[in-house]
Amino acid sequence: MAAESAWTMPKGELMKGKKGLILGVANANSIAWGIAQQLAAQGAELAFTYLGEGLERRVRPLAESVDAKLIVQADVTDDASMDAAFAEIEKTFGTIDFVVHSVAFANKNELQGSFVDNTTRDSFLLAMNISVFSFVDVARRASKLMPNGGSMITMTYLGAERAIPNYNTMGVAKAGLEAATRYIARDLGPKGIRVNAISAGAMR
């Protein structure tokens, strides 16, 4: 059964002929999934990534409901996995026009209490690797498939600018992501590739 959202954009052709990659759909409540639905409704052709069998069981039915052209595993912490994923993306599409990056992670045990007391080196580095470096890596790879320019967006949050209780390491990672976005935009702008971070409101 096709996944449903509370609000659906009327179908149109705004994105007809455009091809893009969606990273980070976790379930039907994901911001990335909401974006993907609207892109599909406007005629875009989509590829989705997932990590592991557990997420595949959630992502695949959603992706199939919008006639995804590709559903591929991609571990953003593993270069070989990313090499394989982008090889499949290039094989399927040739070139792409946009990327939606909605990938983030922080150890849930460190998203509470004192940031200073609870943050460990390994968890901090993992959060930065998945939440920040992954966008740098994806931007580098995806830009090679955008000879005619394109667009990349990633997801940030107010916790990048303010110390939000219990956001802790994730807030620091989002601040790093925003800085990375500016540098990526500087480098890719001359190639006609727009790069932006969207600061969405809190979700349940």
- Predicted local distance difference test score (pLDDT) of residue 166: 82
- Predicted local distance difference test score (pLDDT) of residue 152: 98
CB count within 10 Å of CB 82 equals 19
Q: Which among 43, 2, 4 is positioned nearest to 20, based on CA atoms?
A: 43
Distance CA 138, CA 193 (A): 13
CB count within 10 Å of CB 190 equals 7
- Predicted local distance difference test score (pLDDT) of residue 163: 84
**Regions in the chain scoring below 70 on pLDDT:** 1-9, 159-160, 202-204
Please name the residues in contact with 105: beta carbons below 8 A apart, sequence gap of 6 or more.
126, 127, 130, 131
- Predicted local distance difference test score (pLDDT) of residue 128: 96
pTM of the model: 0.90
Q: Which among 11, 43, 7, 68 is positioned nearest to 23, based on CA atoms?
A: 68
Distance CA 107, CA 168 (A): 10
Torsion of the alpha carbons at 82, 45, 54 and 172, rounded to the nearest 10: 60
- Predicted local distance difference test score (pLDDT) of residue 8: 56
Q: Note the CATH number of domain 19-199.
A: 3.40.50.720
Distance CA 71, CA 52 (A): 12
> Percent helix, strand and coil across the chain, each rounded to 5?
50, 15, 35
- Predicted local distance difference test score (pLDDT) of residue 50: 97
- Predicted local distance difference test score (pLDDT) of residue 157: 80
Distance CA 23, CA 50 (A): 7
Distance CA 17, CA 10 (A): 18
Domain boundaries of the chain, sorted by first residue: 19-199
- Predicted local distance difference test score (pLDDT) of residue 23: 98
- Predicted local distance difference test score (pLDDT) of residue 156: 85
* Catalytic residue annotation: 157, 167
Q: Which helix (H) or strand (E) holds 195?
A: strand 193-199
- Predicted local distance difference test score (pLDDT) of residue 11: 80
